[in-house]
Structure 1
Amino acid sequence: MEEIKVSVVIPVYNVEEFLNNTLSDITGQTLKEIEIICVDDGSTDTSCKIIEEWQKRDSRIQLIKQKNQYAGVARNNGLKQAHGKYVVFWDADDLFERNALEVMYTQAEQERSDICICEARKYDNAKEKYIPSDAYLKENLLPEKQTFNKFDVPDYIFNLTNNVPWNKLYLREFILKNKLEYQAIKQANDTYFTIMALFLAERITYVKDVLIAYRVNNQESLSGKASDTVFCAYDSWLYTKNRIEKYEDFNLVRFSFLNRALSGFYHALNIQTTFESYEKFYRMLIEEGFKMFGLDTCEEENIYVPWMYKDMKKMYEMEPADFLVQKSITRRVNNENNNVRRKILREKNKALNESVKNLKAEKKALQSDKKKLQEEKKKLQKEITDIKQSKAYRLGNKLMWLPRKIVKRG
């Protein structure tokens, strides 16, 4: 049996609109020694039929069916069926470069790593365009060495990437050895898995290639229905906190963890789709959430992003509606300021391009003048040579020889 280098585990739920494109990206990977494990999470559309049609064309595709238990359980069940040396957990509606697995696999093998992280970007489903993002791999927080662990970057081990599972390739043996599993919750089921993996890994490496595009503005995704599960994100962080703080090394990475959790709380608050759910989450944070994590007593210098510390303090002083209005105004002002900055930059860029264009024209004119002068010089040199070689010039030289001698002697 051919060695399976990478197992691709894909939780599938009602993604008929995107599934063909995703399976095309995955079956078309330049790394051929892979298995593709699709775990259908009780889809009610034609997702299963689409996978079955693909199975007829590609024997590497497997289909596992389960009742609706959400992506975390689907990933766990897919992992149980995996045989690859490495495993990735990809989403069924994202976009993948055809060399993604080969690039990450090669890097992981070269560095003998437990985890390989890649750069990614977003794809706006509504506007149909790609959006650059530094959320998935923060290059400014990476250590100089190519392979690292929490002891190399204790202050940023959880901040140099985020909790998404799909931009990370894992050594399967590492996952099994540490008994890592995704949580059986509707949303944020990847918090515990990713945080613990980054904490426990002895060798983490990365590639700066943008290999994956995460689809946003898809109202059918779980993140588009955050208000259905108001406290999922908080519960996932609390579950993780209660387990990771039992390790002796936790104090080493404590501030990295707290900052990552705080960022997660703000993200969860901002993606709520109803004011009722927003208010519930807001009040929970100021009444118990921040305190449970010790964030309420954190010094300002220990919070990495200044606005997060300021917002936390404001939340204790303001009603949810007032805070939301103020944040909306701030965002609008920031957007307007950004628009002004972009306009200024465009104008500066236009002026710069015009200057470059003028300089190029001047350079071309100077080169033309230089060429003309060189041709004129060459012509004059030829005329001088012709004169010197003429009989009249040679005769004149001889006739002038005697007078010059007389002048010199005189």
Structure 2
Amino acid sequence: MIAITMACRLLKNPRRLITAEESVSSKVSVVIPVYNSAKYLRECIDSVLAQSFSDWEVVAVDDGSSDDSPAILDEYAAKDSRIKVIHKANGGVSAARNDGLAAACGEYVLFVDSDDFLDKDALQVSYEEALCTGADVVITDHWIWKDGRPETEHRFFAKEFVFTDKKDVSSVQRMVLYKGYSPYPSASCSYMFSALWSKLIRREMLMKGMLRFSSSMKLYEDGLFALQVFHEAKVVAYKQVLTYHYRILPNSLCHINEDRLVEDCGKIAFHVKEFMSASGDIEILQDAYYARILFLLKKMALRGFFFKGSEKSFWTRYRAYGKLLKSSPYAESIVAVPKLRLVGNEKKFCWLLKFRLNFLIALMYEIRARLLR
């Protein structure tokens, strides 16, 4: 296999992607979008090199990084012919993943974030499960690192399964929108099921379905892609094995400008609804969609409206949030609260919304924000 490095930083040169004809096929393509990840990048790639399963390729897409990431990628590509590198102008994670997917040649694809890393048996376990079950998608579990604390184990489901019935597969698809719709609820299930790093996906299915990431979305682009994946999947398997180390970085938790967050959440609502209509999945996904919208309302309250350091007055933010609650699709989602399978903090939050206790919500979150250091 030939290691190919493509320098596409000069915009006057047309960008050329690796095609399937240029490389020998592997069992698994590990697609890694990279943007200024030099601090963690070696650990990420080393975790692939250390796999007990050796029939893999890495397609690393340098998305216009300004740190040492490009040099690190080229260094690894020079040492191992299974590592392919694409250098391109910055276009965002969705564009990077699309380019990586277009260049992938494996039977299955695994998307990995460049600041995370794999357990040594991750590919072996996932591929063997795919081989044994004929699955289009194999789901596994993960650890979460947060603020330098010890890792915590998270399992998506309470028991293993292989689903071949469309109704059962749809129950997994609903969980992409909201974890309360899990077919087998797990007490340690995180909110990360929409992430793609927990899923080994048959590449042929992605190609036939012409699935691509939406470049217009800044949040939840992986969730929209996952909804499409489960719509196309005929066989879905879950193996209750921890395979992925997910790292929550301090800047991942930063607060977002109110207007930008409202805009981004609005795009999520629009694109998911658009997918539901186009795919004919509205009836299947409607309640889970409402639950996702309510989840976004809570996220916007905590990270976009009522947080420490906001330049706007409390009353200005309170009125703006109240206006948002009366708009579509948020108002319809609040009406639907009694019939939804809400869990955890969302259950309390949404019932406060249902009874129009908006001021209480705003006051609680404002006090919470001021007490946090």
TM-score of Structure 1 vs Structure 2, range by shorter chain:
0.7 to 0.9
Correspondence 1:303-314 to 2 at 5 A? 303-305=341-343, 306-313=347-354
Correspondence 1:148-297 to 2 at 5 A? 148=164, 150-152=166-168, 154=170, 157-159=173-175, 160=182, 162-184=193-215, 185-219=217-251, 221=252, 224=254, 226-227=256-257, 229-230=260-261, 231-267=263-299, 269-272=301-304, 275=310, 279=317, 282-283=321-322, 285-291=324-330, 294-297=332-335
**CA-to-partner distance for each residue in 1:79-125, whole Å, 9 max, x for gaps?**
0001101001100001210110111111112111111111112112x
Map of 1:116 onto structure 2:
138
Alpha carbons of structure 1 residues 265 and 121: separation in structure 2 relative to 1, 3 Å: farther
Alpha carbons of structure 1 residues 118 and 289: separation in structure 2 relative to 1, 3 Å: farther
1:241 is matched by which residue type in structure 2? K
CA contact (8 A) 2:288 2:340 kept: no
Alpha carbons of structure 1 residues 299 and 189: separation in structure 2 relative to 1, 3 Å: closer
Q: Taking structure 2 as the reference length, what is the TM-score of the superposition?
A: 0.76
The number of equivalent residue pairs is 322
Greater Cα offset, 54-63 or 180-189 = 180-189
1:42 is matched by which residue type in structure 2? G
**CA-to-partner distance for each residue in 1:7-41, whole Å, 9 max, x for gaps?**
11101000111011111001211111111011011
Alpha carbons of structure 1 residues 285 and 15: separation in structure 2 relative to 1, 3 Å: same
Q: 1: distance between equivalents of 2:49 and 2:356?
A: 48
Shift of 1:167: 0.9
Q: 2: distance between equivalents of 1:79 and 1:298?
A: 38
Q: Taking structure 1 as the reference length, what is the TM-score of the superposition?
A: 0.70
Q: 1: distance between equivalents of 2:267 and 2:91?
A: 17
Alpha carbons of structure 1 residues 123 and 247: separation in structure 2 relative to 1, 3 Å: same
Shift of 1:323: 4.5
Alpha carbons of structure 1 residues 98 and 39: separation in structure 2 relative to 1, 3 Å: same
Question: Do residues 147 (structure 1) and 179 (structure 2) align?
Answer: no
Unaligned stretches of 5+ residues in structure 1: 333-410
Shift of 1:269: 4.4
CA contact (8 A) 1:158 1:260 kept: no
Unaligned stretches of 5+ residues in structure 2: 2-23, 176-181, 183-191
Shift of 1:283: 4.8
Say which SS state the counterpart of residue 21 (structure 1) adopts. Answer: helix
Which structure has more relative contact order (CA 8 Å, sep 6+)? It is 2
Q: 2: distance between equivalents of 1:40 and 1:28?
A: 22
CA contact (8 A) 2:117 2:244 kept: yes
Alpha carbons of structure 1 residues 155 and 168: separation in structure 2 relative to 1, 3 Å: closer
Question: Do residues 12 (structure 1) and 34 (structure 2) align?
Answer: yes
Q: 1: distance between equivalents of 2:105 and 2:169?
A: 32
Question: Do residues 30 (structure 1) and 46 (structure 2) align?
Answer: no
Shift of 1:187: 3.0
CA contact (8 A) 1:196 1:244 kept: no
1:73 is matched by which residue type in structure 2? A
Map of 2:186 onto structure 1:
none
Map of 2:14 onto structure 1:
none
Greater Cα offset, 77-86 or 144-153 = 144-153
**CA-to-partner distance for each residue in 1:272-327, whole Å, 9 max, x for gaps?**
476469949845641324447x3132141324232242143366632774242366
Q: 1: distance between equivalents of 2:164 and 2:292?
A: 19
CA contact (8 A) 1:13 1:40 kept: yes
**CA-to-partner distance for each residue in 1:46-96, whole Å, 9 max, x for gaps?**
100011111122111111112111111100010000110100110000121
Over aligned residues, Cα RMSD in angstroms? 3.0
Question: Do residues 39 (structure 1) and 61 (structure 2) align?
Answer: yes
Structure with the larger helix share: 1
Q: Among 61, 84, 90, which residue is 2:112 paired with?
A: 90
Once superposed, which parts of structure 1, at least 4 consecutive aligned residues long, lie more than 6 Å away? Answer: none
CA contact (8 A) 1:286 1:315 kept: no
CA contact (8 A) 1:123 1:131 kept: yes
Q: 1: distance between equivalents of 2:330 and 2:214?
A: 24
**CA-to-partner distance for each residue in 1:144-172, whole Å, 9 max, x for gaps?**
74224550265563224621111111101
Q: Which has the larger radius of gyration?
A: 1
